Structure 1
């Protein structure tokens, strides 16, 4: 199949394009970016071609599916148009910056019947899938509480221009800073692992260290700390940060009636189970992907399989909307200094 990609930043260069290139069912990638030289560079790197406008991608009947790797503020524009032009769509997270914009994409998906998948890639790691299986088995009893973290040194070392002028630091394009960049991944993961939905939050946020290209504090939070409650009554905490300078933290701990599960906290064992009776069970599965250790996420292969086999994606637009709603509630809570119900 022939694939189009909108946006040629780092997420395309290091994840979408290489994984499409390695997929045996993808024969060609067509790149579009508002900076033509970026599209041209990736087309040369991955033996693809360049579209002069996004409309060229939408109008090309030979393109089956499109990855929307534009900045957060543009997803509702490009993804909606791509769906309405008859393309299947893989959208980067967050699905949009508002519920209304997200629903615009979902309405286009329902109208056309094309597949819409959102790149919440933590569902795809083997450790998280194994963790879900253990939880579902009930061998540790019911989940009581949880804590989850996601932090690294910041997007300025990841973005295409490798500087603090990155769009991630701009409120009009990024929206919600680290909450929409890293936090939304872990919120989706909690929904996935627990088969439950977060419905109440409280949070504190701050710009603790990051400055923009002019030396001024950035416009969005670089750290946010949250308390969470699920519909099922489980309690949890979450920390999301762009200022973990020494080492990335992508860990989750779940506390059960009969023990504890630690995920991605040990370099050798990606899951550690400590039972109430003192037994220790270690699972050596795979190292998680980091910005410094790029490996196949499985996202592209899953999306291609959904398109080929006409099966619902693992992460749907509705799943992504639920996580966006939690982010919006977290930001509202931090802004108003009060507990907020997820709407």
Structure 2
């Protein structure tokens, strides 16, 4: 069977730690080419994995025969690169946030639709073992209705994660557009929508730069959200969780409480009102220090191989992005935003 020919746009941390090694490990994939404006960086990657190095993604698209691309670039480039690739007839896996505005997101979805290609967004939170298990438990109905919740994602900031440290594009507003909210908050809006099989109806956001000097992107956000079902919760994103990161979710339900990654990162704890306590150790969450397999790359490849639209679609990515954009609007206007 023919291997799927893949190119990767952007050779920074997320590409080098997740996308490229996971493609390389997938027997159905051939890594054909890489694009990055930093010549040394892209040549180094091409040397390790094989394939051609380009400093221009337009050149790459012109010269290579491909099936799909991964877009692993600063946020402001997600839309133009995705649209260019879709218009070249290629499937696209784009990192989150899929876009920086709702209009961009809609244009990306439209480009994929009119060219008959798949658009998938890299919301890997859905695929992490504790999250998969939590959804299975919640869907079983044993906890009853979700009433209130909190979900949080924080670490010490991109300076410890990005290949460029404190000089990373993450801190440059014209390239990132948004900070912790685009990096972490959108993961949580996506995850809570997925976990509860529900949409966020209203959001109030407190978003600002509390501690990262010299940048005008947000380093912290705390949001209050109301789901369509009536459940109310908080959603938090932080780049100032120094020393000890957080990727936990707690749901208080009619019949008890479910704690996901709240005690140890690899477990789901269910405490029922009848007194029983169940602990499921199901495998770790990915963290910046601990790169476990994300599952996103394999899911994308599987979609292409089996001609099955990806479950983490452009439409899903846009719904999750709209929550974040609503939170920014709330911060700017001081009012609760209806989505």
SS of residue paired to 2:44: helix
Distance 2:15 2:220 in 1: 26
Q: What's 1:208 paired with?
A: 210
Q: 1:12, 1:69 within 8 Å by CA — same for their partners in 2?
A: yes
Distance 1:288 1:71 in 2: 24
Question: Is 2:61 the counterpart of 1:58?
Answer: yes
Distance 1:3 1:114 in 2: 14
Question: Is 2:281 the counterpart of 1:284?
Answer: yes
Q: After superposition, where does 1:1-343 map in structure 2 within 5 Å?
A: 1-60=4-63, 62-162=65-165, 164-211=166-213, 216=214, 218-267=215-264, 270-342=267-339
Shift of residue 46 of structure 1?
A: 1.8
Paired residue total: 336
Distance 1:205 1:116 in 2: 29
Superposed CA deviations along residues 68-126 of structure 1, whole A, max 9, x for unmatched, are 11110011100001001010000011111011111110110110110110000001112
SS of residue paired to 1:295: coil
TM-score normalised according to structure 2 size: 0.96
Please list every run of 5 or more consecutive structure 2 residues that lacks an aligned counterpart in the other structure: none
Superposed CA deviations along residues 169-210 of structure 1, whole A, max 9, x for unmatched, are 122111121111100001000010001011101121221110
Please list every run of 5 or more consecutive structure 1 residues that lacks an aligned counterpart in the other structure: none
Q: Superposition RMSD on alpha carbons, in Å?
A: 1.2
Q: Return 314-323 or 28-37, whichever deviates more.
A: 28-37
TM-score normalised according to structure 1 size: 0.95
Hey, which bits of structure 1, 4+ residues long, moved more than 6 A? none
SS of residue paired to 2:83: helix
